[in-house]
Amino acid sequence: MQHQSQSLATIQLPRTLARPNRHEVSRDNITAIEPNLAGASLEYVRNKLRDRGDEFARMVSSVHVPQTLQRAQIPQEQYITVHATSASASSLHLLAVFSSKVSAQDPMPQPSDTAYIFPTHMLNLAIDCAQLPRLTRMPALLRADGTVDLPVVQLNVPHAEAFAPLHAYLLTHRIDRFLGMLIPVSPSLLSPARGSSASAGAGPLAHINPQQLAVAVVQTAAGDRRAALMSLVHSIKAVWRNTCSLGIFDRELWAALDIAWETVLTALHLHIAAGGQ
């Protein structure tokens, strides 16, 4: 893998983010969630889900759950009772996202004690993630008191703490928001200029200039700028590793990851060229 030039040699950052081997998503997982889609084309399902991104965002925000749980608190029957302000929450699942770590005392990967909890519309993950665990049909259970028992899917990823940007994108497909979660710049730098129009096939990120983003990132980095920039490097790498682990091959998502990576590498070069340590 080609690495950046001498100014970054000591930290050995790859010039580009590698893609995983491509796999097809599991039709069994899709029909486990929605049996009526057994004969539907994958592209048709993807397009229908992407048209409903804002609706899914509202649905998950109606469910009130703690951000994290100890994995020992997740019941064996795989349901958790939650309060929801929308009846449509009954179509949701809960993701319990955790990571496995290797310690010096035990070289075998061990699941972390803490799981990050995400209300989700599971079909959005099943249609884009080729490496999900096998899913079974587990409908939500509505209770007379207004609460709902949502089925839990446990998901092991390399960096559970960095799952939020990826999950938000899989629900809404708002690529500008996804990119904004990776690099801290003004939203105006990520949105097309009013009245502008990209050429056909150019994609929704064609207007973005990574050099301009890099300048903004350096200017807004507070305190120890090199440490702040390296923190961005680690955050983007964590999202990239989760993307690879789940087998996601969405073209726009990968374009945004490439832009974020190029931006932060350029920002590091600018910082070092200006005499930063």
Residue type, 105: Q
Confirm whether 200 is domain-assigned.
no
| Closest of 103, 27, 117, 7 to residue 71, by C-alpha | 117
Q: What percent of the chain has pLDDT over 90?
A: 58
Examine residue 129 and state whether it is found in any structural domain, yes or no.
Answer: yes
* Residue 202 domain flag: no
- Flag whether 143 is in a domain: yes
Amino acid 200: pLDDT: 45
Query: What domain range is 138 assigned to?
Result: 6-194+207-273
Instruction: Measure the N-to-C terminal CA separation of the chain; round to a whole number of Å.
Output: 25
Beta 68-70 vs 79-84: how paired, if at all?
Answer: unpaired
Chain center to CA of 84: 23
* pLDDT tens-digit readout, 155-182: 999 999 999 999 999 999 999 999 999 9
The answer to whether residue 231 is domain-embedded is yes
Residue 219: CB partners within 8 Å, gap ≥ 6?
Answer: none
**pLDDT tens digit string along 106-139?**
566 677 889 999 999 999 999 999 999 999 888 8
**Percent of the chain topping pLDDT 70:** 88
Structure token pair of residue 260: 């974020």
- Write the DSSP assignment of 57-120 as a string of letters: HHHHHTEE--SEEEGGGS-TT-EEEEEESSGGGGG-EEEEEE-EE--SS--S-EE-SEEEEEEE
In a domain, 211, yes or no: yes
Provide the domain count of the chain. 1
Q: What are phi and psi of 156, to 5 degrees?
A: -100, 115
131 in a structural domain? yes
Which segments of the chain have a pLDDT < 50?
A: 1-7, 9, 198, 200
Token reading at 97: 């996202």
Extract the tokens encoding 167: 């999950």
* Continuous H helices in 139-184: 164-172, 175-182
List residues bridging with 93 in a β-sheet: 120
Report how far residue 48's alpha carbon sits from residue 24's, in angstroms, rounded to the nearest whole number: 19
- Predicted confidence at residue 237, as pLDDT, reads 96
Q: Does 257 fall in a domain?
A: yes
Strands (E), the chain: 63-64, 68-70, 79-84, 93-98, 100-101, 110-111, 114-120, 141-142, 147-156
Nearest 5°: the CA angle 130, 132, 138 is 130
| Average pLDDT, rounded, for the chain | 86
Task: Determine the Cα–Cα distance for residues 29 and 136; give it in Å rounded to an integer.
Answer: 7
216 and 189 Cβ atoms separated by less than 8 Å: yes
Q: Give Dmax over CA atoms of the chain in angstroms.
A: 65
Do the strands 147-156 and 93-98 form a parallel or antiparallel pair, or are they unpaired?
parallel
Residues in the chain: 277
pLDDT value of residue 5: 42
